[in-house]
Chains A and B, each alone.
Chain A
Amino acid sequence: MLLEVNDVSLSLRRDGKYSKILDHVSFQVNKGETVGIVGESGCGKSMTALSLMRLLPDKAKLEGSVELQGEKITNYSKRKLEKVRGNQMSMIFQNPLTSLNPLQTVGTQIEESLILHTNMSKKERRVRVLKLLNDVGLPRVEELIDEYPHQLSGGMRQRIMIAIAMACEPQLLICDEPTTALDVTVQAQILELMNEIKEQTQMGIIMITHDMGVVAEVCDRVIVMYAGKVVEEAPVVELFQNPKHPYTRGLLNSIPKLGQRKQKLGSIPGTVPVPENMPVGCRFADRCSHVMDICKSTVPQVTEIKENHQTACWLYDEEGGNKDATTGSNQSQTTLHY
């Protein structure tokens, strides 16, 4: 196992009070595997990623443990963690337009990772940077290395970000909505590049996205998050064919499908609850069309549906005992009518 996240909770200080952003999040990532984390805005996807990297604002309270290749990095000091960041564990961010330093050439910015984590000479570093630029599919690398970010397009800048992240051949790559800010054709190219890189390097990838299309394209396994909690986890095919949690079904229902022009696109009523005002029971209860009494009073436990497929929902809990719920589980649109 490459990464093991156990009961990670995160509280951030807002207006003098701590509010819980993540609540006992647990999952694993294996070598060579791409794990998707999906959910609406504000459900804690990005905060999960930033917690792994510990790139959190001041006064953040992080609990639980994160183990990278058996090393418990949550215990690491700031100094020790700096040696891990960008070296064993890298991150790519959402907005490539603002994620690069405008005053440094792209070559300098890629080289910095090598300066920080390797003992390469200046010459070796240049060779390595040129190779990285080549690997991420950029043209005319010899000139590009001395150009500034503003001279490049969004897609090219995201490729530079990938080159920076890949510089020290990390075992784990965290991608926080890497294609959201790019236009569709460029998105496809970047996803293809990520798949290629994964095949070549056998590293683990965490792909954070709200785009189910991206999930289908690159992920092996998917974690669905809602309001700071993991609500469902399944292999990608299983999740698309047999979604269990009403929230997951809602997400899948909101994707337009070819040949269903007349049908109204599904949407989930309401919005994600704010951390300061979390419901006592299931956090999705207020928006759920299957809501039962127990949902509003008690937090549902994680239930195993079958091997590798788990969900936290009272519909599937023995004690919750609602047999109706299992009836229409084959196709998401058959049971739920939003």
Chain B
Amino acid sequence: MDALRFIARRLVLMIPILFGISILTFVISNTIPGDPARLILGPKATPETLSALQEEMGLNDPLYIQYGNYMAGIFQGDLGQSTYSQRPVSEDLVRYFPATFELTMFAMVITLLIGIPFGIISASRKDKIADQITRVFALMGVAMPAFWLGLLFLLFFYLKIGMFPGSGRLDTGMSPPEYITGMYTVDALLTGNWPVFRSAVMHLVLPGITQAAITIGMITRMTRSSMLEVLGSDYIRTAHAKGGSENRVLYGHALRNGVMPVITLLGMAFGHALGGSILVESVFSWPGLGRYAVNAINYLDFPAVMGVTMLIAVMFILVNLIIDTLYFFIDPRLKHD
């Protein structure tokens, strides 16, 4: 019951946050110099047609009226028309978002599978060789720019040894699986289409690892420091005094306490990965939200930029809400406060 009330309160709190984000994005995208109407019509348009279109798009209204119109649309499920793709923005988002979500989830799974074990190894063998190596890799992951790492991967794994494909979501000539979630791996699994599944996974590997590099580094470092703090605490000494073996103390007592701050960071990492998809998708020609956003910005496609930003913001807040709720079940202290 407490958990439900907690979730309800957090959902209500989301509303002002989303309002804030919408105002901020709207103002910022409208202060970018450039005239969307002129961009649509091209250099040869007459002043008359230009002012007619400006009027039609509402560009002559004061900013707060424009914002009001936009928000009125949102409440009716209308995110506006993309001036670039000539389709409703909501349709574009549905089309591109699953690709980005699939890539981000893949990156997060890799992050979890590598980051947390590395952090544990690093902490339990503090200052030994394994720790030093892990720390160097974690630092490299955090410090390396994603687009550069992506290019290195492309050069080596795609061009040089041809182990993994370098662009797109499927092999050329292969048709996507039946649309269920829009995530090719999931849809292929659900329909039992193995060749497509294999191809989709292979295409995920390079962009996935590229996107995960930074978050692996973040999570490894956080796990290490958090575990070290826990391993030095009094209740770990108690566990040893009871006669618990090294492994029992590490996995039975230290791990659960030690991963708590890591879980919080995971929410941040998820947001980081979603935002970072812009670079990674450009490098690997991944037809997702990131590439859509880059095009939208290039063409001053304000409704599209707004749509992408709002969607990422909602995802980020939702993921963090899920994580905070998770906390509620892991840490008994929260339930009684």
Q: Provide the residues of chain B in CB contact with A329, threshold 8 Å.
A: none
Are A86 and B234 in contact, CB atoms less than 8 angstroms apart? no
Given A101-B257, A148-B332, is A85 in contact with B242 using a C-beta cutoff of 8 Å? yes
Total of A-B residue pairs, C-beta within 8 Å: 74
Look across to chain A and name the residue whose beta carbon is closest to the beta carbon of B246. A78
Q: Which of B241, B245, B246, B256 contacts A90 (CB 8 A)?
A: B241
Count residues on chain B whose CB falls below 8 Å from chain A CBs.
23
Contact partners of B240 in chain A: CB under 8 A: 55, 85
The answer to whether A82 and B245 touch across the interface, beta carbons within 8 angstroms, is yes
Give a binary string over A166-206; 1 marks a CB under 8 Å from any B CB, 0 the rest: 00000000000000000000000000000000000000000
When A55-B237, A150-B332 are in contact, do A103 and B245 touch as well, CB less than 8 Å?
no
Assess whether A82 is in contact with B331, with CB atoms less than 8 Å apart: no
Q: Which of A110-118, A288-296, A298-306, A309-317 sits within the interface?
A: A110-118
Residues of A within 8 A of B235 (CB): 98-102
B238 to A87, Cβ gap below 8 A?
no
Q: CB-defined interface of B184-204 with A at 8 Å, one 1/0 digit per residue?
A: 000000000000000000000
User: Is B233 interfacial (CB 8 A cutoff)?
Assistant: yes
Q: Is the CB of A151 within 8 A of B336?
A: yes
Interface assignment of B333: CB less than 8 Å from any CB of chain A: yes
Interface residues of B in 284-337 (CB under 8 A from A): 330-333, 336
Q: Let me know if B242 and A112 touch, CB within 8 A.
A: yes
- Cβ-based interface call for A252 (8 A): no
Residues of the A chain whose Cβ atoms lie less than 8 Å from the Cβ of B117: none
Q: How far does the Cβ of B46 sit from chain A's closest Cβ, in whole Å?
A: 72
User: Is the pair A98, B242 in contact by a Cβ cutoff of 8 Å?
Assistant: no
The answer on a CB contact under 8 Å between B243 and A93 is: no
Chain A interface residues toward B at CB < 8 A? 53, 55, 78-79, 82-87, 90-91, 93, 95, 98-104, 112-113, 116-117, 148, 150-151, 161, 164-165
How far apart sit A103 and B263, CA to CA, in the bound complex (Å)?
15
Of all chain A residues, which has the CB nearest B235?
A: A101
A124 to chain B, nearest CB (A): 18
A85 to B239, CA, bound (A): 10
Are A82's CB and B234's CB within 8 A? Answer: no
Complexed CA–CA distance, A91 and B240 (Å): 10
| SS class, residues of chain B in contact with chain A | helix
CB within 8 Å for A113 and B336 given contacts A95-B234, A164-B238: no
Set of chain A residues within 8 Å of B245, measured between Cβ atoms: 79, 82
With A and B bound together, what is the CA distance between A98 and B331 in angstroms?
16
List, in ascending order, chain B residues with CB within 8 A of A55's CB. Answer: 237, 240-241
Say yes or no: is B253 at the interface (Cβ < 8 Å to chain A). Answer: yes
CA distance A151 to B243 in the complex (A): 26
- Contacts A93-B238, A102-B257 given; indicate if A85 touches B333 (C-beta within 8 A): no
- In the bound complex, CA of A159 to CA of B243 (Å): 19
Contact of A116 among B243, B256, B333 (CB under 8 A): B243
B327 to chain A, nearest CB (A): 12
The residue of chain B having its C-beta at the shortest distance from the C-beta of A108 within the complex is B252
B332 (CB) vs chain A CBs: closest residue: A148
Interface status of B244 (Cβ within 8 A of chain A): yes
Q: Are the C-beta atoms of B234 and A99 separated by less than 8 Å?
A: yes
- Pick the residue among B238, B244, B331 that contacts A161 (CB under 8 A): B238
Q: Which residue of B lies closest to A57 (CB)?
A: B232
Chain A, Cβ-Cβ closest to B335: A148
